[in-house]
Amino acid sequence: MNEEFEGVSTDLNTERGSEEVENTNPVEENPKGKEKIRKGLAIALYVFIGIIVGTSITMAICKSYVDTQMAKILQNPDGKISYLEYLIDTYFYNDVEQETLQNGAYHGIFDSLEDPYSQYFTPEEYEEYSSVVNGNFGGIGAGLQKDADTGEVVVTKVYADSPAEKGGVKEGDIIVSADGHKGVNYSLEDYVSKYLRGDEGTEVTIVIDREGEEIEITLVRDIIEVETVSYKMLDNNIGYIQISQFTGSTDKEFEKAFEDLQAQGMTSVIYDLRNNGGGIVDTATNILDYLLPKGTVMYTMDKAGNRRDYNSDASHKEIPTVVLVNGNTASSAEIFTGAIRDFKYGTIIGTQTYGKGIVQTSFKLQDGSAIKLTTNKYYTPSGECIHGQGITPDVVIEYEFLGGEDDEYAVEFDNQLQKALEVLRQ
């Protein structure tokens, strides 16, 4: 538009310049004829100017209309996304699949929440996520936690006969990278999903940091069928039940373990929830219902103030109890710990727990994709929200390995477990 006005202005100035030159000519031949010419030129000029002005006004109106419509489109989120897709499709130097753009937008929505627990899943990602929650997936066979301070990926458990165990990975190792991708740059779920899990038989090369020494290990992924409950009888008829996480089958595994130990003559019990990062809330509350007398074992509250109580019925197990916890005891494991503490059902031993006092809800969409969204805070029976602070044990004791450098783990070398045995013998 501006270019057109500039062009017209130049032409008019040139035309006027010619007139002025003619007016300075001292010779006047046939003044009437010249007068007619001048009038004709003036009329033509007025018509020309009218056409230009009319066209310019029309174009200005058109531009204003287009700008108004574009503003309306950009005010509509769907319209703006479509327009951005158009710009990328038209001008981006590489071809991009529309599905890739859309999934990127969906992931971006959840990234904007700045909540590491809320996320979008493609159908394939959700299928994999569900298999992990249910305890059956392809991977390396290691339990992992993100260090809250450093962001490092720490190995908290190595499953028996897994690729991780066969490759020499040990509890306490830090996974620096997997196929060159550094763990500190990703959320734990993204990192595990993208680089550690995978199809059976595929390889992944990890670099671990073990007490300052970096070691490169290539692992062949396998199907990992996780048994989340392990148990045994210790001296003095003290039962020991370790829960590594709360999956869909953990409550049934737990009941089987408890009843088996009871049949062996168990008179007191230790529940080891160290390095248990949580899992399914309903599974944890099912176990609490099995153990505790009648009452509210926990409750949740959403942002509107809606409360949901999780209750235990009257049937319960009367048995001296200790719960072992540490800084990696989180989420549903803290629900379990908080209920045991508030019901005064047992003694908590170890170090401050992680402090994840929020609950996520999964919503599956019709196309097979899904979202996991933080929907509630949860509260222990006494009304405490432990988010960001954790649970302080009744007996605070840092872990210390009591064996020598060449000794493998054993009950007698675990100072926290020894403290639990001491408490139960009193």
The secondary structure of residue 215, as a DSSP letter, is E
CA distance 245 to 226: 9
Distances (CA, A) of 123 to 102, 109, 401: 13, 17, 44
Displacement of CA 310 from its chain's centroid (Å): 26
- Catalytic sites, residue numbers: 331, 342, 356
Who's near 258: CB < 8 A, 6+ residues apart? 239, 241, 269, 290, 317
3-class SS of residue 130: helix
**Helices and strands, counts by H and E, the chain:** 11, 19
N-to-C CA span, the chain: 92
- Which tokens sit at 58? 């029309």
| Of 182, 187, 181, the residue nearest 113 (C-alpha) | 187
Distances (CA, A) of 214 to 153, 192, 205, 209: 14, 20, 13, 4
CA distance 244 to 312: 23
- Which tokens sit at 47? 């018509």
DSSP string, 59-80: HHHHHHHHHHHHHHHHHSHHHH
